[in-house]
């Protein structure tokens, strides 16, 4: 029996066990939406802007480990996905973006709502396809999900012309994929693994430095903990690695880099061996590259060979899936204690803990984050917007499990957190999901309140409302003589009224004593809830390493 391309698309998505699609319809997708109308196996979430669809699919993928799926029409619908696709690409998130396209006969003729989305997204996708023949559709979908979810994960785009969705062919979904040009390396070279084990066993001041690869490789976090405890190695994490090692563990250094802990940065700069696992030594981590970790040799474990040695010279490279490499590496690691090294780190922790000056008046943003952890018992999924709110959420909530901290790392996308929270809640309906937001970022996709209310997606938003674009304002204060050029938001709306206008709940909080009660009320309310916390307007994120400075040149911000 021959099926239309639209029917083949939906049946193929079922074969890939897709449960939810975040999308927005358009003319060239009418046949696809007609098939979605008839299916009960896949839930479609109608967003209010296509960027919201991409970010929601991204949040769903990060929270579940599954491939997120978003759908948009041709032209502006497709281009509105671009920021979300780029965001997923920078953070290596498995995503399949489906876009409608004009008739194949009209491609290149500047037809109505035509855009070369394949050309536009080529630099920001792991791979992309333009399907010109319905006979190729099922195979393309199978390949797209395989490529998105294997090796180093990432987004894949499939462009679907209108006539391909109408044309019919026999449907047979392939059972497996064999792409000759795509063969990720999963098993590390045993000689390199043994060499790395020898270096670890001989080192006196090692540091485990873990990134998002530990989250992506299911179960790798357990092996990181096993290795750290067996050889008594302190562990520091990147923003993307939060939850890959428990912040509450005695060996935890928490986050390093520009807004990392002082003791993590001291440790990395004083170490004699860095064991990098699923991390890429980006500029927010290294600071001034020429002065980064001057005494340390580097072991770098990553599934992406192009990441190794790209930013920092690597002495022992190991290409492979971090879980598989760690399974083998730990066999050759000798048990030991490092009293002198960990004692030195403990002294740094006591001297320079993560702290802020609480004057007892008004609401400090860090206090709100601490209270969110307290009232949720640390069991919530936290998404963030970008800026100060993001850093406070990373610093003052202790993450103990993977996939509980969801944030835009590489691209730093304002407006990411709220739609990502919607996606995370769809994937993990039994979890409390909080978007810790800034008043600037939240307004970038505030319209997705309509999506949350319409679909009864019970997400919570905690706005750390300081009346400005906080992180940029902080830089202007510290490095531009307090010339606040276009960073003061002196006409912010009433966020509670906006929430209520969409049918959500809202509460404005101005007193410190009311923070805990407001959080508890939001959590017990079975509806999307916006909490507008009016916080200290000139509170800054510290520690801070100025751009281009060495990690030793941290600003503490404390008197």
Cα 490 off chain centre by:
30
Q: Are 221 and 277 in contact (CB under 8 A)?
A: no
At 145 the three-state DSSP class reads: helix
Q: Classify residue 395 as exposed, middle or buried by CB count within 10 Å of its CB (0-12, 13-18, 19+).
A: buried
The whole-angstrom separation of Cα 244 and Cα 336 is: 23
Q: Which of 14, 15, 19, 113 is catalytic?
A: 113
| DSSP string over 188-252 | PPHHHHHHHHHHHHH-SSEEEEE-HHHHHSTTHHHHHHHHHHHHT--EEE-STTTTSS-TTSTTE
Which of 120, 285, 271 is closest to 205 using CA atoms?
271
E-only strand ranges, 37-162: 43-46, 68-72, 95-101, 127-130, 155-161
What tokens were used for 190? 């045993």
**16, 35, 50, 539: the active-site residue:** 50
CA distance 364 to 269: 31
Length of the chain: 559
Spatial CB neighbours of 63, under 8 Å, sequence gap ≥ 6: 381, 403, 406, 423, 424, 427, 428, 431
- In angstroms, what CA-CA distances link 16 with 42, 138, 403, 410? 11, 11, 22, 28
Burial 268-301 (b: 16+ CB within 10 A, else e): bbbbbbbbbbbbbbbebbbbbeeebbeebbbbbb
Crossing angle between the packed helical segments 339-351 and 262-270, to the nearest 10 degrees = 150
C-alpha distance across the termini of the chain, in Å: 76
State the catalytic residue, choosing from 258, 391, 471, 544.
471
Beta strands 168-170; 2-4: pairing state: antiparallel
Three-state secondary structure call for residue 273: strand
Residues in contact with 291: Cβ distance below 8 Å, sequence separation at least 6, in sequence order: 550, 551, 552
Which of 112, 339, 379, 482 is flagged as catalytic?
A: 112
Kind of pairing between the strands at 529-534 and 505-509? parallel
Q: Express the helix, strand and coil content of the chain in percent, nearest 5 each.
A: 40, 20, 40
Distance of alpha carbon 452 from alpha carbon 459, whole angstroms: 7
State the Cα torsion 172-176-182-188 to the nearest 10°.
170
CA dist., res. 424 & res. 383, Å (int): 8
The reply to whether 471 belongs to the active site is yes
Query: Which residue is it, tokens 């994937």?
Result: 427
- Kindly name the residue from 142, 152, 162, 425 that is annotated as catalytic: 162
**Quick check: is 554 catalytic?**
no
The DSSP bridge pattern shows strands 433-438 and 460-465 to be parallel
Active-site residue 113, yes or no?
A: yes
Rounded CA separation 278/220 (Å): 10
Active site residue 162: yes
Q: Which residues are catalytic?
A: 50, 112-113, 162, 471
């Amino acid at each position: 029996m021959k099926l239309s391309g639209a029917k083949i698309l939906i049946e193929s998505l079922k074969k890939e066990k897709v449960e939810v699609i975040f999308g927005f319809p358009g003319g060239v997708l009418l046949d696809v939406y007609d098939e979605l109308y008839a299916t009960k196996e896949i839930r479609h979430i109608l967003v209010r802007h296509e960027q919201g669809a991409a970010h929601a699919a991204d949040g769903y993928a990060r929270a579940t480990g599954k491939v997120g799926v978003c759908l948009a029409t041709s032209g502006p619908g497709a281009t509105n996905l671009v920021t979300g696709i780029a965001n997923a690409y920078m953070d290596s998130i498995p995503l399949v973006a489906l876009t409608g396209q004009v008739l194949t006969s009209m491609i290149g003729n500047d037809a109505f709502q035509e855009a070369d989305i394949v050309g536009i997204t080529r630099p920001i996708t792991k791979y992309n396809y333009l399907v010109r023949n319905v006979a190729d559709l099922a195979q393309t979908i199978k390949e797209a999900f395989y490529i998105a979810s294997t090796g180093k994960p990432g987004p894949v785009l499939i462009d679907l012309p209108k006539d391909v969705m109408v044309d019919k062919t026999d449907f047979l979904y392939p059972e497996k994929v064999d792409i000759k040009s795509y063969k990720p390396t999963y098993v590390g070279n045993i000689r390199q693994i043994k060499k790395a084990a020898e270096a670890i066993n001989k080192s006196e001041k090692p540091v485990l430095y873990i990134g998002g690869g530990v989250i992506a490789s299911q179960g790798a976090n357990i092996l990181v903990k096993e290795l750290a405890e067996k050889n008594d190695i302190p562990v520091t994490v990147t923003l993307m690695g939060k939850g890959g090692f428990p912040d509450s563990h005695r060996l935890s250094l928490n986050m390093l880099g520009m807004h990392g802990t002082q003791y993590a940065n001291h440790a990395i700069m004083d170490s004699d061996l860095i064991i990098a696992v699923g991390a890429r030594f980006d500029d927010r981590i290294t600071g001034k590259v020429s002065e980064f970790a001057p005494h340390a040799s580097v072991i770098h474990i990553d599934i992406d060979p192009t990441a190794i040695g790209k930013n920092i010279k690597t002495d022992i490279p190991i290409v492979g899936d971090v879980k598989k490499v760690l399974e083998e590496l730990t066999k050759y690691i000798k048990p030991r204690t490092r009293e002198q090294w960990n004692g030195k780190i403990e002294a740094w922790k006591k001297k320079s803990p993560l702290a802020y000056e609480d004057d007892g008046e008004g609401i400090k943003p860090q206090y709100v984050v601490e209270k969110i952890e307290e009232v949720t018992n640390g069991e919530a999924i936290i998404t963030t917007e970008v800026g100060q709110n993001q850093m406070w959420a990373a610093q003052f909530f202790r993450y103990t499990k993977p996939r509980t901290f969801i944030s835009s790392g590489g691209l730093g996308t304002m407006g990411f957190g709220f739609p990502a929270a919607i996606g995370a809640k769809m994937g993990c309906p039994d979890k409390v999901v909080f978007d810790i937001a800034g008043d600037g970022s939240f307004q970038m996709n505030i319209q997705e309140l309509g999506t949350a209310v319409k679909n009864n997606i019970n997400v919570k938003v905690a706005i750390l409302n300081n009346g400005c674009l906080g992180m940029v304002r902080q830089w202007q204060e510290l490095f531009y003589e307090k010339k606040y050029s276009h960073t003061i938001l002196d006409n912010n709306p009433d966020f509670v009224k906006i929430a209520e206008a969409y049918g959500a709940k809202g509460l404005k909080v101005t007193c410190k004593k009311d923070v805990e009660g407001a959080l508890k009320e939001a959590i017990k309310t079975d509806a999307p809830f916006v909490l507008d916390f009016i916080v200290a307007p000139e509170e800054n994120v510290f520690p801070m390493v100025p751009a281009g400075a060495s990690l030793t040149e941290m600003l503490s911000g404390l008197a």
